[in-house]
Amino acid sequence: NTDFTERIQRVEPSATIAISNLASELEADGVDVVDLSVGEPDFPTPEPIVDAAKDAMDAGHTGYAPSNGIPALRSAIADSLGERGLSYDPAEIMVTPGGKQALFEVVQTLVEDGSEVVLLDPAWVSYEAMVKIAGGSLERVDLTPHDFQLEPALPELAETVSAETDLMIVNSPSNPSGAVFSEAALDGVRDLAVEHDVTVIADEMYDRITYGVEQTSLGTLDGMAERTVTVNGFSKAYSMTGWRLGYFAAPSDLVDQADKLQSHSVTCATNFVQHAGVAALTECEEYVTEMRDAFAERRDMLVDLFDDHGVDVPVGDGAFYMMVPVADDDQQWCENALSEAHVATVPGSAFGTPGYARLSYAASTERLQEGVERLANNGYL
Ligand code: PLP
């Protein structure tokens, strides 16, 4: 349709849509689908957060908030980032309705026609769409041959990042592979970013969900504070996906520019949700630990189950996803696995890495066992 902008037509419908439509059709027909496709914790939002939201509503925090976020939340975020070794002033923090909106605003602020953006594959599905909408072009480095790990001084990365590069997006722990990049690997990113004067978005959405390894924040490395945009949110660590609360932290000139987008579009993140965010950061440590321990158990169980069926899955040390090697035509494999075994997964090609299916283990152990059993019984493993 010529009435639609060229900009919006640059973006393909998501490869995951076929799967979720098919899953909905099956469920509408009464089929019990084991849904391992969704990227959200199966835990309720911790009670102190829900209580804080109710209290905030009762106290009348139901109007517009400052566009960059309420001071109490920006200050709690600055403290929380401080505990991770990141030094940000509350003025360098922008509270957004979800981490996705934070990424969208940052990409709109930094990427324009002709900008070059480097991604590490497999990469979270929305980066590509955001960059294309902004007019940028993508250069992709495939980490699949390295079991999804970013190895220190990876030659392919050094060959890709150049004086032409404007932005890199680094997501550790990674959705979809669960890989947590080592400090040595991130030092390599730093060296290239500094050498070629590249800004880096560090998407650290899963930084609280790691198993036995410490996640290094890119912005803590020498020379990175001034060129890093740290993106994070509440969806995953605090099981708050539907609340829509996230943020980014960056040098204040970038925050001020992005604030134009925020204030001219969504205005602000929901006022009482921001008050609940303060409770998340200050009162919920034990809930985060409990959920993380549960994810760790499920991950180990799932790896053993696949191993029992002779499937060797590269295991990541963070987030709650794994990439399972499947058929070359992963889209078809996922559609068939759903229609025949009634197990929903996401094709790896959606993340730039065909031949894999992404499974989320943010589901109960019973459902995970059931899922693997169904795949095995229907000849998918
Ligand atoms: N970044 C990554 C890597 C994600 O996996 C997600 C959610 O799936 C997001 C950002 C955005 O999360 P939200 O908008 O819910 O904060």
Of 177 and 13, the structure prediction assigns the larger pLDDT to 177
- Domain shared by 15 and 87, yes or no: no
CA 119-171-212 angle, to 5 degrees, is 140
- For residues 233 and 99, the answer to whether their CB atoms sit within 8 Å is yes
The domain that holds 332 is classified in CATH as: 3.90.1150.10
In a domain, 103, yes or no: yes
* Domain that residue 170 falls in: 61-283
**Amino acid in the structure at residue 268:** C
Beta bridge partners of 142: 121
Cα 5 to Cα 7: distance, rounded to the nearest angstrom = 5
- Domain shared by 30 and 84, yes or no: no
Last residue of a domain, one of 283, 310, 341: 283
The pLDDT assigned to 19 comes to: 85
- Domain shared by 69 and 92, yes or no: yes
Instruction: Give per-residue pLDDT as tens, 182-215.
Output: 999 999 999 999 999 999 999 999 999 999 999 9
In a domain, 51, yes or no: no
Element (H, E) at 234: none
Query: 333: which 2 tokens?
Result: 């494999």
Choose which residue among 204, 205, 273, 321 to substitute to test ligand 1 binding: the one with the highest number of ligand atoms within 8 A of its C-beta: 205
Between the CA of 246 and the centroid of ligand 1 the distance, in Å, is: 9
Ramachandran quadrant class, 315 (left: phi over 0; alpha: psi -120 to 50; beta: rest)? beta
Of 2 and 363, the structure prediction assigns the larger pLDDT to 363
What is the percent of the chain where pLDDT is above 70? 99
**CA of 100, closest atom in ligand 1:** 14
Is residue 14 predicted with pLDDT exceeding 90? no
In a domain, 49, yes or no: no
The pLDDT assigned to 38 comes to: 87
Between the CA of 205 and the centroid of ligand 1 the distance, in Å, is: 6
Last residue of a domain, one of 283, 309, 330: 283
pLDDT band at 1 (very low <50, low <70, confident <90, very high): low
Element (H, E) at 121: strand 116-121
Compute CA distances 305 → 111, 175, 299, 310, 355, whole Å: 43, 21, 10, 9, 20
Beta bridge partners of 138: 117
Last residue of a domain, one of 283, 310, 329: 283
**CA of 102, closest atom in ligand 1:** 14
- Counted domains in the chain: 2
The domain that holds 186 is classified in CATH as: 3.40.640.10
**Amino acid in the structure at residue 226:** E
Tokens 């321990």 label which residue? Answer: 293
Give the chain's mean pLDDT: 96
- Domain shared by 26 and 66, yes or no: no
Mean pLDDT of 299-314: 95
- Domain shared by 80 and 222, yes or no: yes
- Domain shared by 273 and 290, yes or no: no
Length of the chain measured in residues: 381
Cα 18 to Cα 2: distance, rounded to the nearest angstrom = 25
pLDDT band at 357 (very low <50, low <70, confident <90, very high): very high
In a domain, 52, yes or no: no
- Domain shared by 113 and 254, yes or no: yes
In a domain, 145, yes or no: yes
Q: Is the pTM of this model over 0.95?
A: yes
Mean pLDDT of 78-103: 98
**CA of 99, closest atom in ligand 1:** 16
- Domain shared by 355 and 327, yes or no: yes
Ligand 1 neighbour 277 (Cβ under 6 A) = no
- Domain shared by 72 and 218, yes or no: yes
- Domain shared by 271 and 307, yes or no: no
**CA of 245, closest atom in ligand 1:** 16
Helices (H), the chain: 6-9, 16-28, 47-58, 71-83, 99-110, 125-134, 155-160, 183-196, 252-264, 271-283, 285-308, 330-341, 365-377
In a domain, 55, yes or no: no
**CA of 241, closest atom in ligand 1:** 15
Q: Is the ipTM of this complex over 0.95?
A: yes
Between the CA of 378 and the centroid of ligand 1 the distance, in Å, is: 32
Choose which residue among 14, 121, 124 to substitute to test ligand 1 binding: the one with the highest number of ligand atoms within 8 A of its C-beta: 124
The pLDDT assigned to 248 comes to: 98
In a domain, 56, yes or no: no
- Domain shared by 181 and 197, yes or no: yes
Between the CA of 99 and the centroid of ligand 1 the distance, in Å, is: 6
Cα 60 to Cα 56: distance, rounded to the nearest angstrom = 6
User: CB count, 10 Å around CB of 191?
Assistant: 16
In a domain, 53, yes or no: no
**CA of 246, closest atom in ligand 1:** 16
Choose which residue among 125, 171, 235, 321 to substitute to test ligand 1 binding: the one with the highest number of ligand atoms within 8 A of its C-beta: 235
Is residue 262 predicted with pLDDT exceeding 80? yes
Mean pLDDT of 259-286: 98
- Domain shared by 165 and 306, yes or no: no
Between the CA of 160 and the centroid of ligand 1 the distance, in Å, is: 25
Tokens 């106290």 label which residue? Answer: 59
Compute CA distances 104 → 66, 69, 203, 234, 273, whole Å: 19, 17, 12, 17, 20
Mean pLDDT of 312-327: 95
The pLDDT assigned to 327 comes to: 86
